[in-house]
Structure 1
Amino acid sequence: MTGHTERPLLFLDVDGPILPFGEDPHRALRGTTPDARLARLTCELGSRLAALPCELVWATTWEEEANAEIAPRIGLPRLPVVTWPEPTDQHEREDRWFGLCWKTRPLVNWAGGRPFAWVDDEITDADRPAFRVIRHV
Protein backbone atom coordinates (compact mmCIF):
# COMPACT_ATOMS: atom_id res chain seq x y z
CA MET A 1 0.00 0.00 0.00
CA THR A 2 1.45 3.36 -0.99
CA GLY A 3 -0.51 5.45 1.47
CA HIS A 4 -1.90 7.65 -1.30
CA THR A 5 -5.58 8.42 -0.92
CA GLU A 6 -5.85 9.99 -4.37
CA ARG A 7 -6.93 7.93 -7.33
CA PRO A 8 -4.11 6.61 -9.52
CA LEU A 9 -3.11 8.66 -12.55
CA LEU A 10 -3.74 7.50 -16.10
CA PHE A 11 -1.30 9.13 -18.51
CA LEU A 12 -2.79 9.28 -22.02
CA ASP A 13 -0.91 9.67 -25.27
CA VAL A 14 -2.92 10.89 -28.28
CA ASP A 15 -1.22 9.73 -31.49
CA GLY A 16 -1.58 5.97 -31.66
CA PRO A 17 -3.76 5.06 -28.66
CA ILE A 18 -6.48 7.76 -28.80
CA LEU A 19 -6.06 8.80 -32.43
CA PRO A 20 -5.05 5.68 -34.38
CA PHE A 21 -2.70 5.97 -37.32
CA GLY A 22 -3.84 4.97 -40.81
CA GLU A 23 -7.30 4.67 -42.28
CA ASP A 24 -10.31 3.34 -40.39
CA PRO A 25 -10.89 -0.15 -41.86
CA HIS A 26 -14.61 0.03 -41.04
CA ARG A 27 -15.31 3.22 -42.99
CA ALA A 28 -14.73 4.58 -46.44
CA LEU A 29 -11.42 6.32 -47.09
CA ARG A 30 -11.54 9.87 -45.80
CA GLY A 31 -8.57 11.51 -47.48
CA THR A 32 -5.52 12.95 -45.85
CA THR A 33 -6.73 16.17 -44.23
CA PRO A 34 -5.74 16.74 -40.59
CA ASP A 35 -9.41 16.54 -39.55
CA ALA A 36 -9.79 13.09 -41.15
CA ARG A 37 -8.32 11.33 -38.11
CA LEU A 38 -10.11 13.65 -35.67
CA ALA A 39 -13.44 12.74 -37.28
CA ARG A 40 -13.01 9.18 -35.94
CA LEU A 41 -13.21 10.31 -32.33
CA THR A 42 -16.46 9.60 -30.48
CA CYS A 43 -18.02 10.49 -27.15
CA GLU A 44 -18.08 6.75 -26.38
CA LEU A 45 -14.29 6.87 -25.98
CA GLY A 46 -14.54 9.81 -23.59
CA SER A 47 -17.27 8.08 -21.57
CA ARG A 48 -15.19 4.95 -21.22
CA LEU A 49 -12.13 6.91 -20.14
CA ALA A 50 -14.12 9.02 -17.66
CA ALA A 51 -15.57 5.85 -16.09
CA LEU A 52 -12.13 4.51 -15.19
CA PRO A 53 -11.18 4.72 -11.50
CA CYS A 54 -8.28 7.11 -12.08
CA GLU A 55 -7.36 10.72 -12.77
CA LEU A 56 -6.82 11.29 -16.49
CA VAL A 57 -3.75 13.28 -17.59
CA TRP A 58 -2.64 14.15 -21.13
CA ALA A 59 0.88 12.79 -21.69
CA THR A 60 1.28 13.74 -25.33
CA THR A 61 3.29 16.07 -27.51
CA TRP A 62 -0.07 17.68 -28.28
CA GLU A 63 0.21 19.17 -24.76
CA GLU A 64 -2.57 21.84 -24.33
CA GLU A 65 -3.83 21.18 -27.87
CA ALA A 66 -5.21 17.89 -26.52
CA ASN A 67 -7.59 19.94 -24.36
CA ALA A 68 -8.51 22.18 -27.29
CA GLU A 69 -8.91 19.54 -30.02
CA ILE A 70 -9.37 16.10 -28.47
CA ALA A 71 -11.18 16.53 -25.13
CA PRO A 72 -14.25 18.36 -26.57
CA ARG A 73 -14.60 15.82 -29.38
CA ILE A 74 -14.74 12.90 -26.95
CA GLY A 75 -16.73 14.65 -24.22
CA LEU A 76 -13.99 15.11 -21.63
CA PRO A 77 -13.36 18.21 -19.54
CA ARG A 78 -9.98 19.95 -19.62
CA LEU A 79 -7.40 17.57 -18.20
CA PRO A 80 -4.04 18.21 -16.56
CA VAL A 81 -1.23 18.19 -19.12
CA VAL A 82 2.33 16.95 -18.80
CA THR A 83 4.71 19.51 -20.26
CA TRP A 84 7.90 17.93 -21.48
CA PRO A 85 11.12 19.30 -20.00
CA GLU A 86 14.28 19.62 -22.06
CA PRO A 87 16.22 16.43 -21.35
CA THR A 88 19.75 16.68 -20.06
CA ASP A 89 22.55 15.03 -22.03
CA GLN A 90 23.06 12.60 -19.15
CA HIS A 91 19.36 11.60 -19.09
CA GLU A 92 19.33 11.11 -22.87
CA ARG A 93 22.42 8.85 -22.64
CA GLU A 94 20.90 6.86 -19.76
CA ASP A 95 17.55 6.48 -21.52
CA ARG A 96 19.26 5.25 -24.72
CA TRP A 97 21.45 2.88 -22.71
CA PHE A 98 18.47 1.33 -20.92
CA GLY A 99 16.19 1.45 -23.98
CA LEU A 100 13.64 3.70 -22.29
CA CYS A 101 11.03 5.77 -24.05
CA TRP A 102 11.90 9.47 -23.85
CA LYS A 103 8.67 10.03 -21.89
CA THR A 104 9.37 7.54 -19.11
CA ARG A 105 11.56 9.68 -16.85
CA PRO A 106 9.31 12.80 -17.04
CA LEU A 107 6.17 10.74 -16.31
CA VAL A 108 7.68 8.97 -13.32
CA ASN A 109 8.84 12.34 -12.00
CA TRP A 110 5.45 13.98 -12.73
CA ALA A 111 3.68 11.23 -10.77
CA GLY A 112 5.92 11.96 -7.77
CA GLY A 113 5.43 8.51 -6.23
CA ARG A 114 1.71 8.38 -6.96
CA PRO A 115 0.47 5.14 -8.59
CA PHE A 116 -0.12 5.44 -12.33
CA ALA A 117 -0.87 3.65 -15.56
CA TRP A 118 0.33 4.86 -18.95
CA VAL A 119 -1.24 4.31 -22.37
CA ASP A 120 1.22 5.00 -25.18
CA ASP A 121 2.36 3.35 -28.39
CA GLU A 122 6.03 4.08 -27.56
CA ILE A 123 6.31 2.09 -24.31
CA THR A 124 9.09 -0.49 -24.49
CA ASP A 125 9.67 -3.66 -22.47
CA ALA A 126 12.52 -1.79 -20.74
CA ASP A 127 10.11 0.90 -19.50
CA ARG A 128 8.07 -1.39 -17.26
CA PRO A 129 10.71 -2.07 -14.57
CA ALA A 130 11.97 1.52 -14.85
CA PHE A 131 8.74 2.74 -13.28
CA ARG A 132 9.94 1.20 -10.04
CA VAL A 133 13.49 2.55 -10.06
CA ILE A 134 13.45 6.07 -11.53
CA ARG A 135 13.06 8.59 -8.72
CA HIS A 136 12.03 12.21 -8.72
CA VAL A 137 15.19 14.33 -8.83
Structure 2
Amino acid sequence: MAGSVQRALLFLDVDGPLIPFGAASEPYPTYAMGPEPHGAGGAGANPLLARINPEHGPRLAALPCEVVWATTWMADANECIAPRLGLPQLPVVVWPEPSDIDDQDERNGLHWKTRALVGWAAGGPFAWVDDEITDTDRSWVAAHHPGQALLHRVDPRHGLTGGDFAALDSWLSQLA
Protein backbone atom coordinates (compact mmCIF):
# COMPACT_ATOMS: atom_id res chain seq x y z
CA MET A 1 0.00 0.00 0.00
CA ALA A 2 1.51 3.30 -1.08
CA GLY A 3 2.33 5.68 1.74
CA SER A 4 1.83 3.13 4.51
CA VAL A 5 4.29 3.05 7.37
CA GLN A 6 5.43 -0.27 8.81
CA ARG A 7 4.52 -0.46 12.48
CA ALA A 8 7.54 -0.85 14.71
CA LEU A 9 8.07 -4.02 16.70
CA LEU A 10 8.93 -4.00 20.39
CA PHE A 11 10.81 -7.17 21.34
CA LEU A 12 10.23 -7.63 25.08
CA ASP A 13 12.21 -9.85 27.43
CA VAL A 14 10.58 -11.01 30.69
CA ASP A 15 13.34 -11.75 33.23
CA GLY A 16 14.87 -8.40 34.15
CA PRO A 17 12.47 -5.99 32.41
CA LEU A 18 9.20 -7.41 33.82
CA ILE A 19 10.49 -9.59 36.67
CA PRO A 20 13.21 -7.63 38.46
CA PHE A 21 16.04 -9.55 40.11
CA GLY A 22 19.56 -9.15 41.45
CA ALA A 23 19.16 -6.45 44.11
CA ALA A 24 20.74 -7.72 47.29
CA SER A 25 19.87 -5.04 49.83
CA GLU A 26 16.08 -4.76 49.76
CA PRO A 27 13.02 -6.88 49.02
CA TYR A 28 11.15 -6.43 45.76
CA PRO A 29 7.66 -5.03 45.66
CA THR A 30 5.05 -7.65 45.00
CA TYR A 31 1.60 -7.18 43.56
CA ALA A 32 -1.60 -8.88 44.59
CA MET A 33 -3.00 -10.97 41.82
CA GLY A 34 -6.60 -11.77 41.09
CA PRO A 35 -7.84 -15.25 40.26
CA GLU A 36 -5.43 -17.11 38.01
CA PRO A 37 -6.55 -17.45 34.40
CA HIS A 38 -6.97 -21.02 33.19
CA GLY A 39 -3.57 -22.48 32.42
CA ALA A 40 -1.63 -19.73 34.20
CA GLY A 41 -0.76 -21.90 37.18
CA GLY A 42 -2.35 -21.71 40.59
CA ALA A 43 -0.78 -22.04 44.00
CA GLY A 44 2.25 -23.74 42.47
CA ALA A 45 2.91 -20.91 40.01
CA ASN A 46 6.33 -19.31 39.88
CA PRO A 47 6.52 -17.02 42.97
CA LEU A 48 8.54 -14.50 40.96
CA LEU A 49 5.40 -13.70 38.95
CA ALA A 50 4.18 -11.62 41.89
CA ARG A 51 6.98 -9.13 41.05
CA ILE A 52 5.28 -8.23 37.76
CA ASN A 53 3.80 -4.76 38.04
CA PRO A 54 0.31 -4.96 36.48
CA GLU A 55 0.55 -1.26 35.56
CA HIS A 56 3.09 -2.21 32.89
CA GLY A 57 0.35 -3.82 30.78
CA PRO A 58 -1.59 -0.63 29.93
CA ARG A 59 1.69 1.24 29.44
CA LEU A 60 2.93 -1.38 26.97
CA ALA A 61 -0.42 -1.45 25.17
CA ALA A 62 -0.33 2.35 24.80
CA LEU A 63 3.02 2.35 22.98
CA PRO A 64 2.74 2.88 19.21
CA CYS A 65 4.14 -0.53 18.25
CA GLU A 66 3.47 -4.25 18.08
CA VAL A 67 4.76 -5.97 21.23
CA VAL A 68 6.44 -9.34 20.63
CA TRP A 69 7.68 -11.68 23.35
CA ALA A 70 11.46 -12.07 23.04
CA THR A 71 12.07 -14.32 26.02
CA THR A 72 13.02 -17.85 26.92
CA TRP A 73 9.55 -18.05 28.47
CA MET A 74 8.40 -18.53 24.86
CA ALA A 75 4.67 -19.45 24.70
CA ASP A 76 4.51 -19.53 28.52
CA ALA A 77 4.70 -15.72 28.36
CA ASN A 78 1.22 -15.73 26.83
CA GLU A 79 -0.01 -18.25 29.43
CA CYS A 80 1.51 -16.71 32.56
CA ILE A 81 2.59 -13.12 31.89
CA ALA A 82 0.10 -11.63 29.41
CA PRO A 83 -2.98 -12.28 31.62
CA ARG A 84 -1.25 -10.63 34.62
CA LEU A 85 -0.65 -7.54 32.49
CA GLY A 86 -4.07 -7.52 30.84
CA LEU A 87 -2.46 -8.03 27.45
CA PRO A 88 -3.80 -10.18 24.62
CA GLN A 89 -1.88 -13.13 23.26
CA LEU A 90 1.26 -11.70 21.64
CA PRO A 91 3.52 -13.06 18.93
CA VAL A 92 6.47 -15.04 20.29
CA VAL A 93 9.96 -15.15 18.82
CA VAL A 94 10.98 -18.75 18.22
CA TRP A 95 14.66 -19.04 19.06
CA PRO A 96 17.20 -21.01 17.07
CA GLU A 97 18.33 -24.35 18.44
CA PRO A 98 21.49 -24.02 20.52
CA SER A 99 23.36 -26.01 17.87
CA ASP A 100 22.39 -23.34 15.30
CA ILE A 101 23.85 -20.44 17.32
CA ASP A 102 27.25 -19.27 16.11
CA ASP A 103 29.79 -19.96 18.86
CA GLN A 104 32.01 -17.23 17.40
CA ASP A 105 29.26 -14.68 18.07
CA GLU A 106 29.22 -15.64 21.73
CA ARG A 107 33.02 -15.48 21.99
CA ASN A 108 32.85 -12.00 20.45
CA GLY A 109 30.23 -10.89 23.00
CA LEU A 110 27.18 -10.90 20.69
CA HIS A 111 24.01 -11.91 22.53
CA TRP A 112 22.50 -15.14 21.23
CA LYS A 113 19.16 -13.35 20.62
CA THR A 114 20.55 -10.57 18.41
CA ARG A 115 20.67 -12.33 15.02
CA ALA A 116 17.21 -13.85 15.51
CA LEU A 117 15.63 -10.49 16.37
CA VAL A 118 17.19 -8.76 13.38
CA GLY A 119 15.90 -11.59 11.20
CA TRP A 120 12.39 -11.34 12.68
CA ALA A 121 12.33 -7.57 12.10
CA ALA A 122 13.14 -8.17 8.41
CA GLY A 123 14.51 -4.67 7.88
CA GLY A 124 11.66 -2.91 9.67
CA PRO A 125 11.95 -0.65 12.70
CA PHE A 126 12.23 -2.31 16.08
CA ALA A 127 13.02 -1.69 19.73
CA TRP A 128 14.51 -4.46 21.85
CA VAL A 129 14.02 -4.26 25.63
CA ASP A 130 16.30 -6.58 27.58
CA ASP A 131 18.67 -6.52 30.54
CA GLU A 132 21.54 -8.21 28.68
CA ILE A 133 22.08 -5.84 25.73
CA THR A 134 25.67 -4.68 25.22
CA ASP A 135 27.55 -2.30 22.94
CA THR A 136 28.53 -5.36 20.87
CA ASP A 137 24.85 -5.98 20.13
CA ARG A 138 24.31 -2.32 19.25
CA SER A 139 27.28 -2.29 16.87
CA TRP A 140 26.22 -5.53 15.20
CA VAL A 141 22.65 -4.33 14.68
CA ALA A 142 23.88 -1.00 13.27
CA ALA A 143 26.05 -2.90 10.77
CA HIS A 144 23.49 -5.58 9.79
CA HIS A 145 20.03 -4.04 10.07
CA PRO A 146 18.98 -1.51 7.41
CA GLY A 147 16.02 -0.16 9.41
CA GLN A 148 15.88 1.91 12.55
CA ALA A 149 16.53 0.10 15.82
CA LEU A 150 16.62 0.97 19.50
CA LEU A 151 18.37 -1.50 21.78
CA HIS A 152 17.21 -0.44 25.24
CA ARG A 153 18.91 -2.03 28.23
CA VAL A 154 16.84 -2.24 31.42
CA ASP A 155 18.48 -2.48 34.83
CA PRO A 156 17.36 -5.93 36.05
CA ARG A 157 17.47 -4.80 39.70
CA HIS A 158 14.60 -2.39 39.03
CA GLY A 159 12.85 -3.72 35.93
CA LEU A 160 10.96 -1.35 33.67
CA THR A 161 10.65 2.16 35.09
CA GLY A 162 8.88 5.33 34.06
CA GLY A 163 12.13 6.48 32.46
CA ASP A 164 12.27 3.34 30.32
CA PHE A 165 8.69 3.85 29.14
CA ALA A 166 9.43 7.52 28.36
CA ALA A 167 12.49 6.57 26.29
CA LEU A 168 10.54 3.92 24.37
CA ASP A 169 7.57 6.20 23.75
CA SER A 170 9.83 9.02 22.57
CA TRP A 171 11.74 6.80 20.15
CA LEU A 172 8.64 5.05 18.82
CA SER A 173 6.75 8.34 18.40
CA GLN A 174 9.60 9.78 16.32
CA LEU A 175 9.13 6.95 13.81
CA ALA A 176 5.62 8.15 12.96
TM category (shorter chain) comes to 0.7 to 0.9
* Distance in 2 separating the partners of 1:36 and 1:55: 28
Q: Which runs of 4+ in 1 moved over 6 A?
A: none
2-structure distance, mates of 1:111, 1:49: 19
Structure 1 residues 60 and 38, CA gap change in structure 2 (3 angstroms): same
Match of 2:73 in 1: 62
2:114 touches 2:137 (CA, 8 Å); kept in 1? Answer: yes
Q: Does 1:80 align with 2:101?
A: no
State how 1:55-134 maps to structure 2 within 5 Å: 55-87=66-98, 91-93=102-104, 95-134=105-144
Residue-by-residue CA offset, 1:95-124 (whole Å, 9 max, x unaligned): 134311111011101111011010111111
Deviation at 1:89, TM superposition (A): 6.3
1:10 paired with 2:26, answer no
Structure 2: runs of 5 or more not aligned: 31-43, 146-176
Alignment root-mean-square deviation, CA: 2.5
Which range moved further: 83-92 or 4-13?
Answer: 83-92
TM-score w.r.t. the length of structure 1 is 0.81
Q: Which amino acid aligns with 1:133?
A: A
1:129 shift after superposition: 1.7
Contact 2:18 2:53 in 1 (8 A): no
1:132 CA drift (Å): 2.3
Q: Are residues 26 and 83 of structure 1, via their aligned partners in 2, closer, same or farther at CA, if it must alter by over 3 Å? A: closer
Instruction: Tell me the number of residue pairs that the alignment of Structure 1 and Structure 2 aligns.
Output: 128
Measured in 1, the distance between the counterparts of 2:14 and 2:28 equals: 19
Equivalent pair of 1:105/1:134 in contact (CA under 8 Å): no
2:92 partner letter: V
